[in-house]
Structure 1
Amino acid sequence: MFSLILLAWFAAPALVRRGFRAPRRLEQSSPAELGLAYREIRIPTARGKQLFGWLIPAPLSGPQPVVAALHGWGGNAEDMLPFAPLLHRAGLGVLLVDARNHGRSDSDTFSSMPRFAEDLQHALDWLIEQPEADPARLAILGHSVGAAACLLVASHRRGLAAVISIAAFVHPAEMMRQVMAVHHIPYWPIGRWVIGYVERTIGHRLDDIAPLYTLQAIHCPVLLVHGDRDRTVPVAAAETLYAHRYSDAVQLWVIPGVAHDSVEAIQAHGDRLLQFLNIAMNRDK
């Protein structure tokens, strides 16, 4: 056991850093291929870095409601493009951004869910200054790690109209324990030490950023969306989050036959999503 502890002590930092290195995929298309007008943008974020993104204005001119969408780990803005035609047809603007170390955004030392949230915060700060956006009618939508980042942002940021969380996990420590179990790494003492190292590296206690707890601090309507065939983050995660909801402003929508990365399936189920947004933004009249 002592040799295992020594191995963890020396190897864990390099392994954790490698785990925080997201695979980068560049966008291969653009909103233009869907017939959508857009602006290619650069948004300043933390540590002097720049985020790449697309702003797709609403069909009507002037300040309009906008949905800011954030991809998952190893993804990019193109992954969230399937939402754009649906939202645009409904009269909404759409902001799609790449987190740092993803897509065409700048590189940084490592990626983490709090850094996803930090990038989303900066994207929203930029968005409220744009003439196409109505600051009183902004919603955020995220997938997987991006969904957890949306919940973290909304737990601190007032004034958001709505949050849509797709395939969010319950707690990052739980996800880490599952990964370690697959690799036969004992939680005590090695796994617990690794989790402590991760907390020190990202600068946050995992309890403070876990969707299980951030959800309870959100004051706007939240829609939890999950596929019942998700094997990466099983649907039980959404059911657990919903069971710990702070009020009836949190809704749960389980989509039959949908897996973790089936973002495009939203096209077949868009009415429910639009109904939620219209009510949250007072557009249902």
Structure 2
Amino acid sequence: MSPSTPRLLPGQHPRLPVPQPRSTDRLAIVSLVFSILGLLAFGIPALIGIITGHISRSRIRKQPGRLVGSGLALTGVILGYAALVFWALVLGCLALISTIQRASENIAKQSATLRHEDLVQKTQENARARHAFKTRLLRKEREDVPADPPAPATGMKLVSYPGPLGDMAAYVSTDPADGKKHPAIIWLIGGFSNSISADVLPKGDDPENDQSASAFREAGLLMLYPSLRGGNQNPGFKEGLLGEVDDVLAALAWLKQQPYIDPARIYLGGHSTGGTLALLVAGSTTDLRAVISFGPAHSTAAYGQDVLPFDVENEAEAIPRAPILCLDAINAPTFVIEGVKGNIESLRRMRRSHSSRFIQYFEIPAADHFQVLRPLSELLAKSLLQDTGPTPNIVINHAMLKAAMEAPEK
């Protein structure tokens, strides 16, 4: 027995040390709770969890017999750092995504700007190429029949517009005198005369061959029917849809200057050769709101030598007169429409040759070159009137066209 060991009397037991009371450090619990919250709430509470966790562990080390909870504090510290790392990654990813989105938007804007600039350049190139080309006409044809004044009931009047070769005759809607600016459509009549006649203005008697385009006027649109070079008593000779493009552009410029016309809502439409010319014009300007082309040819030369004044076998003559070669310059919503019993192969050739976000092609079943005109003009006229926003918003689809074709004649 060690001298320092106290001697116990009979019946006595050794006195054991009294254990000190132990408790879990509250800061350890605070650390764990705030670190968990940090995982759920953008990491901000995790900072409190980390700080309190370190303080708790320090306190526990200094009072090992009285405080416990080092494991809780350590878990809080680990979770706190994990929360900070997690939310740093999340915020970093969000920032990266936002940066990518902004960059994509900027690229899209730049692409749109470049696309518009490209289109403007293409239209300018078309105009320059057309002006630089000197056509050689096999026949110099013109008509010496004046345009007769339209009946007052049509709401039209006979005017002259300044064309590139001189004054040209045209029919234009009279001023409604209501102080408002109105949308208008330039309509290009089919055929090869380049002339206008008041006979084409009233609504046609035959609903399956109504070439008057009166549906647009009846719906409330104002209209301009221009004559072209060599037609009526106009200067120049018929060129087979070459210089005629500049005539229509001059008519467009004149119409934009009329005080009762909304220059931002001028449309262009035409049927047959007028539809072909409409596409050629659309590829030469950026000033049209939308274009409607009924039954165009993919190339003017396809009409044949019998009706054209230039050599249709001469490729140099055919190229500037071929809509299929200028589709990539069209920058206005354009609707190309033809019945499957009409000039449908030209429509299909153009559709195969070039895909454009601006051009839509519609084949109308069981209809010919003329049957599509009245019912679909009525539908299109309503769509143009509803197109009132800052940018074109004309919704046309096959179901709408089918319903219009099947609707009973009014």
User: TM-score w.r.t. structure 2 length?
Assistant: 0.51
Q: Give the secondary-structure state (helix, strand or coil) at the position aligned to 1:142.
A: strand
Counterpart Cα distance in 1 of 2:181 and 2:253: 15
* Correspondence 1:139 to 2:256: no
Pairing partner for 1:155 from 257, 279, 283: 283
**Residue 113 of structure 1 contacts residue 146 of structure 1 at CA under 8 Å; is this kept in 2?**
no
Query: How do 1:38-77 and structure 2 match up within 5 A?
Result: 38-47=156-165, 49-57=166-174, 61-72=179-190, 73-74=192-193, 76-77=195-196
Q: Does the CA contact (< 8 Å) of 2:183 and 2:222 recur in 1?
A: yes
Identify the structure with bigger relative contact order (alpha carbons < 8 Å, sequence gap 6+): 1
User: SS of the residue aligned with 1:156?
Assistant: coil
Of the three residues 169, 179, 183, the one matched with 2:297 is: 169
Report the equivalent of 2:347: 238
1:30 aligns with 2:150: yes
2:217 equivalent to 1:88: yes
Q: CA deviation digits over 1:152-211, x for unaligned, max 9?
A: 2221211310011122111234444xx59xxxxxxxxxx88x515xx4xxxxx5334411
Superposed displacement of residue 58, structure 1? 7.1
Superposition deviation, residue 66 in structure 1: 0.6
Distance in structure 2 (CA, Å) of the matches to 1:51 and 1:30: 16
Structure 1 residue 21, shift from structure 2 partner = 2.6
Separation in structure 2 between the aligned mates of residue 284 and residue 213 of structure 1, nearest angstrom: 25
Unaligned residue ranges in structure 1 (runs of 5+): 1-14, 181-190, 200-204
Distance 1:284 1:109, change over 3 A: closer
Q: 1:24 to 1:273 in 2, by over 3 A?
A: farther
Partner of 2:314: 195
Distance 1:272 1:242 in 2: 23
Distance in 2, matches of 1:44 and 1:169, equals 28
Q: Among the aligned pairs, what percent are the same residue?
A: 22
Instruction: Give the strand-richer structure, 1 or 2.
Output: 1
In 1, the alpha carbon distance for the partners of 2:354 and 2:246 equals 24
Larger radius of gyration: 2
1:218 aligns with 2:330: yes
Contact 2:187 2:213 in 1 (8 A): no
C-alpha distance in 2 between matches for 1:145 and 1:172? 8
Question: 8 Å contact 1:25–1:75 — kept in the other structure?
Answer: no
> What residue number does 1:188 align with?
none
Partner-residue secondary structure (3-state), 2:138? helix
- In structure 2, the partner of 1:109 is 237
* Contact 1:70-1:80 within 8 A present in 2 as well: no
The change in CA–CA distance for 1:163 and 1:280 in structure 2 (over 3 A counts) is: farther
Distance 1:113 1:124 in 2: 16
Residue-pair matches, total: 241
| TM-score, normalised with respect to structure 1 | 0.71
2:362 aligned partner, one-letter code: W
Looking at structure 2, the residues matched to 251 and 28 of structure 1 have their Cα atoms a distance apart, in angstroms, of: 36
